[in-house]
Amino acid sequence: MSLIDERSSGAPERRPGAPPSRHGRPAAELADTGGSRSATEPNGGIAAALLAAGIGCAAFGVLVVLAEASGAVKDALTVSEGAGPLSGKGLGATVLWAVAWAVLHATLRNRELPWRPVARTTTALIAVGLVATFPPVFQLFAH
């Protein structure tokens, strides 16, 4: 089962009984609130945020496996002696997440994307993070 609904998200849902506006969207939608932006704002910025979250999860999972597989990587990730390699895993994944988000947001924010590839990619990235942080899995790579 996918974590993300994969159906196309091309158009906002239309409420039952809501008349279409002259812009082809339900009038109720245009009256809807919750954000300060235009109702027609593309979904690229949303896709960027979700994909970046997936990248952060996957990056953390990869760092966990690498630290388990290599003593050199584990040492390199020991940013704080007290917290050990967990400090570097967290910092590294956070930096990768932030950079990925900034790049994706700048690239996608003005685009309307089909939701299926976004959903599938995000789901796969989150799954990598969840699987790679499960001890019986990453401990398979213990050096």
Partner 1 sequence: MNLLSGGEFFLLLHLGLGIGFIHGFAGGIATLVDRTTTRLAETRLKARVRAASTLLMAAALWGAVISGTWLVYPGYRAEPPEGAATAAYPKADLLANEDLAFWHDFGMEWKEHVAWLTPFLATAVAFVAIRYGRRVSSDKLIRSSLIRLFTVAALASVVAAGLGAAINKVAPNLFLDL
What would the x/- binding string for partner 1 be over residues 13 to 52, using CB under 8 A?
Answer: x-x----------x-xx-xxxxxxxxx-x-x-xx--xx-x
Closest by Cα among 58, 35, 64, 46 to 141: 64
**8 near partner 1, rule: CB under 8 A:** yes
Query: Nearer to partner 1 by C-beta: 80 or 110?
Result: 80
Query: Nearer to partner 1 by C-beta: 71 or 131?
Result: 131
Contacts by 94-101, CB closer than 8 A, 24 or more apart:
94/56, 96/55, 96/56, 96/59, 97/52, 97/53, 97/55, 97/56, 97/59, 100/51, 100/52, 100/55, 100/56, 101/48, 101/49, 101/52, 101/55
Query: Nearer to partner 1 by C-beta: 9 or 74?
Result: 9
Q: How many residues bind partner 1 (CB under 8 A)?
A: 57
As measured in angstroms, the least distance from the Cβ of 24 to partner 1 is: 13
DSSP assignments along 79-95, one per residue? -BTTTBHHHHHHHHHHH
Residues 60-99 that bind partner 1 (CB under 8 A): 60-61, 64, 80, 82-84, 86-87, 89-90, 93, 97
Residues facing residue 84 across a β-bridge: 80
User: DSSP 3-state assignment of 46?
Assistant: helix
Would you tell me which residues interact with partner 1 (CB under 8 A)?
A: 3-5, 7-9, 11-13, 15, 26, 28-29, 31-39, 41, 43, 45-46, 49-50, 52-53, 56-57, 60-61, 64, 80, 82-84, 86-87, 89-90, 93, 97, 115, 119, 122, 126, 129-130, 133-136, 138-139
